[in-house]
Amino acid sequence: MKLTPVQINIAEYPAALHPYFDGAKLYDSSCSPNARVYFIDKDTGYFLKIGRVADLGHEYEMTRYFHTKGLAAAVVEYCFDAGQDYLLTEKLKGDDCTTVKYLEQPKRLAELLGEQLSLLHSLDYRDCMSGCAVTNHTEQYLLKAKRNKLTGNFDKSNFPNSFGYASEDEAWAVVEKYGRLLKTDTLLHGDYCLPNVILDDWSFSGFVDLDSGGVGDKHVDLFWGAWTLWFNLKTNKYRNRFLDAYGRDKIDEDLLRVIAAAEVFR
């Protein structure tokens, strides 16, 4: 995670946030054009995420829910003002999995990623149905793919050949025929990538960026777990190690191909 020192005009932010800014050093840690993220170096540390109004509501709900399971940081403040959402969370102890010391041990990292995902997915989804903000992730997931298909949003540039499809029609045919096989029986992170898993010297500390979470099909997380190893390590050779650590008996490779087909409609 890159931290760039910044200065801000506190008066431009909601009053509820002012005590956290007071006397603190601030750093920009944004990694997406869709949201601004600041690290506030005060107390044990805070992260402030800023998005368009209503954009962070889902992330707020999912972060709060994951925190009740001991899987995410505590939410300190959630507010909106002047067309923007503000989500302030405590900093988890440790660093994300793109830190050099983790990337330097790719075999260990791939295994840990698989084992931790298996632990997340082992939670009883029926318990999650009573407290989780999104209990129909699969329905929403397929509807989003359909909307993007209708509006021509087809992009396979971020996927290696083993995940992608040659054409829009080829990918959509798979979604149409086999999308109904996806289940809704697993608590998902939704964006299970290395920057979103925090470790404290190889011990799991928690998850961040939970705006895509909910109860859905486990193969969504499995797809992204395999993808992030390819993307961040610049090779696909740790994919099998990750899937083996998760448990091959719990994986349907055909459903991974269905997820791959849906994901090109973004």
Q: Which domains does the chain have, with CATH numbers?
A: 4-90 (3.30.200.20), 95-263 (3.90.1200.10)
Average pLDDT, integer, range 218-243: 96
The rounded distance, in Å, linking the Cα atoms of 163 and 261 is 8
Q: Provide the whole-model pTM.
A: 0.94
Average pLDDT, integer, range 248-263: 96
Condensed to tens digits (0 to 9), the pLDDT of residues 6-20 reads: 898 999 999 999 999
Verify whether residue 217 is a known catalytic residue.
Answer: no
The confidence score (pLDDT) of residue 162 equals 61
The confidence score (pLDDT) of residue 28 equals 92
Condensed to tens digits (0 to 9), the pLDDT of residues 97-152 reads: 999 999 999 999 999 999 999 999 999 888 777 778 899 999 999 999 999 999 99
DSSP codes, 124-188: -HHHHTTT-S-S-HHHHHHHHHHHHHHTT----TTS-TTT--SSHHHHHHHHHHHGGG----EEE
Phi, psi (5° rounding) for residue 182?
-70, 140
- Which one of the listed residues 85, 96, 191, 211 is annotated catalytic? 191
The confidence score (pLDDT) of residue 161 equals 66
